Amino acid sequence: MTYVSLTDGDREAMLEAIGVAGLDELFRDIPAGVRFDRELAFGAPLSEQEIVERLQGLADRNVHTGQEVSFLGAGVYDHYAPAVVDAILQRGEFLTAYTPYQPEMSQGVLQAIFEYQTVICELTGMDISNASGYDGTTVAADACYVAKHATGRQKIVLAETLNPQVRQVVKTYAPGFGMEVVEIPHRGGVTDADELRASAEDAACVIFQQPNFFGCLEAAPDLAAAANDAGALAVAHVDPISLGVLEAPGKYGCAIAIGEGQGAGNPLSYGGPHYGFLAAREEFTRRMPGRIVGETTDVAGERGYVLTLQTREQHIRREKATSNITTNQTLLALGGLIYLCWLGPEGLRELGETCMALSDHAKEQLSGSLLFSDQTTFKEFAIRAGRPAQEVVRAARAQGVHPGYPLGRDYEGLDDALLVAVTERRSIEDIERLVEALAA
C-alpha cells in the first residue's frame, strides 16, 4: 500500500523480535493527553494515475509561457534551458543524494559543487563562492550579515533600483541582525553615486543592482567606489546572463557579488525552487555563509573533494555560526552549472548581446513610451502606457501577449508603467505583437 514496503508477515515477525505484542505498544511513551485519536481529515489514498489527473487539472488552471507571448520578467525570466539540464538532474545519484557529509560516498556532488563555485567566481570576478543560497533575495540578507561582522557597523544602504523583493527581505532580516536599513531613491532610473557616498558614511554595506530593476545600467564602478570611499562594503546584485557582456563586480571594487540564478538554467516554476549565488573576495573567507567545497587528497594521494571550512557553519559553531543555513539549493545550482557549460563563454556573450539587441529593437518600436529614455538598458526597460497598467495587461493577455510587470505595485507614481523583459526567446514578430497589443 502506498509507499511502505512491509508485508503483514514482516510486521508480525518484527514486533516479535522487538518483544512487543502490537504496534500500539511502540507508542506507549506518548501521553494519553496528546494522542490524536481520530482519522486525519483527508480523502482516500489516490493511485498514481489519480494523482496525475488531479495535478493536471490544477495545472490546467494556470497560464504558462507556452500559452502566451510573455514579456514578463522582473527578477525571474523566460530564458531557454536546454534538455541536457534535466537529463542530468533527473539522475537518481544526484536527485536523491543527501548533503555530502560522507565524502567517499559523494564525490559526484562534491566535485560538481566545486565546479559550480568555480564558474560563479569566473562570472563575478571573485575568489570564493558558496554552494548556493536559497534565492536572489536571501543572499542579500546573507551579505549584510557578512558586512556586519566584517565592519562592525550596523547600517545597510540599499539602492531603490534594487529589486523590491530583495529590499523587502533585507528589511525583514535586519532587525534580528540589529541593523537598520536606509534606501537611496533613484534619479531618472539610476542611482546617484554622490548620494550613495553620503548615505554610506557609517554603513556596513551598500547593495546596488546591475542591471538594475528597471533594466537600466548603473555606473557600477562609480557606485562601488562611492561605497569604498565611505568605508562600506560594495555589494553588487547581478544578473548571471549579463556577465558575458558586462564587467565582473570583482573587477570594479566590489567586496561581494550576489544574485538570482534562476535565469541561468532553472524553470520559472511559479517562483521556485531557484538558487541564489554569493561570492566574495578572499579576505571574507572565514565569514562566508553556507557550504563550501574544497579540494584535497586522500590517503593514496588521489585528488578528491570535501566540505571544508566547516567551523563557520551551524553544526559546529552553533550560535556563533556565519549563518544557520543547512539545506540550500544544490540541485538547482547544479542545473546552473550544466547550463553554463552548455553555453560556454561564446554562448554566454552571444546570449547577452542577443537579449540587448532584441530589447533595443523593442525600445525603438516603443520609443514614444519609454520611461527612462536616456538610459542604456540590458534586457528590460520601462514604458508608460498612459492608462492603468493592470488594464493594459488584461487587454494584452486577451490577445495572447503578456506585456510586462506593472511597476506601480512597487513604485509610487508609476501606476501606468510596465517593465518589459525581452529575452532570446522572443522574436521580431513577438515584438510586433507586443507593440500592437499595447497600442490597442
Residues 80-139 that bind other proteins (CB under 8 A): 82, 84, 86-109, 111-115, 117-119, 121-123, 127-129, 131-132, 134-138
Q: Which is nearer to other proteins, 14 or 440 (CB)?
A: 14
Among 188, 326, 387, 432, binds other proteins (CB under 8 A): 326
Task: Report whether 323 contacts 314 (CB < 8 A).
Answer: yes
Number of residues binding to other proteins, judged by CB under 8 A = 211
Among 182, 296, 386, 388, binds other proteins (CB under 8 A): 296
Q: Which is nearer to other proteins, 84 or 201 (CB)?
A: 84
Among 8, 194, 301, 368, binds other proteins (CB under 8 A): 301
- According to the binding rule CB under 8 A, does residue 173 interact with other proteins? yes
- According to the binding rule CB under 8 A, does residue 62 interact with other proteins? yes
Residue 297 sits at φ, ψ, to 5 deg, of -130, 165
CB of 386 to other proteins, least distance (A): 20
CB of 142 to other proteins, least distance (A): 10
Residue span binding other proteins (CB under 8 A) among the ranges 37-45, 152-160, 186-194, 223-231: 37-45
- According to the binding rule CB under 8 A, does residue 22 interact with other proteins? no
293 alpha carbon, distance to own chain's centre? 20
HSE-CB at 33 with a 13 A cutoff on CA atoms is 0
Among 153, 186, 197, 291, binds other proteins (CB under 8 A): 291
The CA angle 20-23-26, to the nearest 5 degrees, is 70
* CA dist., res. 272 & res. 284, Å (int): 29
- According to the binding rule CB under 8 A, does residue 31 interact with other proteins? yes
Residue 397 sits at φ, ψ, to 5 deg, of -65, -30
DSSP state for residue 216 in the 8-state scheme? B
Closest CA to 159 of 236, 243, 272, 65: 236
- According to the binding rule CB under 8 A, does residue 310 interact with other proteins? yes
Among 180, 201, 251, 388, binds other proteins (CB under 8 A): 251
Task: Report whether 153 contacts 203 (CB < 8 A).
Answer: yes
- According to the binding rule CB under 8 A, does residue 259 interact with other proteins? no
Task: Report whether 112 contacts 131 (CB < 8 A).
Answer: no
CB of 221 to other proteins, least distance (A): 6
Characterize 141-166 residue by residue with b for buried, 16 or more Cβ atoms within 10 angstroms of its Cβ, and e for exposed.
bbbbbbbbebbebebbbbbbbbbbbb
Residue 417 sits at φ, ψ, to 5 deg, of -105, 145
Task: Report whether 121 contacts 279 (CB < 8 A).
Answer: yes
- Of 332-361, which residues contact other proteins (CB under 8 A)? 332, 334, 338, 340-351, 353-354, 356-361
Among 227, 402, 414, 434, binds other proteins (CB under 8 A): 402
Among 8, 21, 56, 152, binds other proteins (CB under 8 A): 56
The residue written with cell numbers 568555480 in the block is: 118
Contacting residues for 59 by C-beta, under 8 A, at least 6 apart: none
Task: Report whether 161 contacts 189 (CB < 8 A).
Answer: yes
Task: Report whether 378 contacts 220 (CB < 8 A).
Answer: no
Residue span binding other proteins (CB under 8 A) among the ranges 77-85, 185-193, 230-238, 365-373: 77-85
Q: Which is nearer to other proteins, 201 or 258 (CB)?
A: 258
Among 8, 21, 33, 412, binds other proteins (CB under 8 A): 33
- Of 137-156, which residues contact other proteins (CB under 8 A)? 137-138, 145
β-bridge pairing 180-184 and 155-159: parallel
Q: Which is nearer to other proteins, 176 or 368 (CB)?
A: 176
- Of 184-243, which residues contact other proteins (CB under 8 A)? 217, 219-221, 243
CB of 398 to other proteins, least distance (A): 11
- What value does the CA radius of gyration of the chain take, rounded to a whole number of Å? 25
CB of 337 to other proteins, least distance (A): 8
Q: Which is nearer to other proteins, 201 or 357 (CB)?
A: 357
- According to the binding rule CB under 8 A, does residue 394 interact with other proteins? yes
The residue written with cell numbers 490597442 in the block is: 440
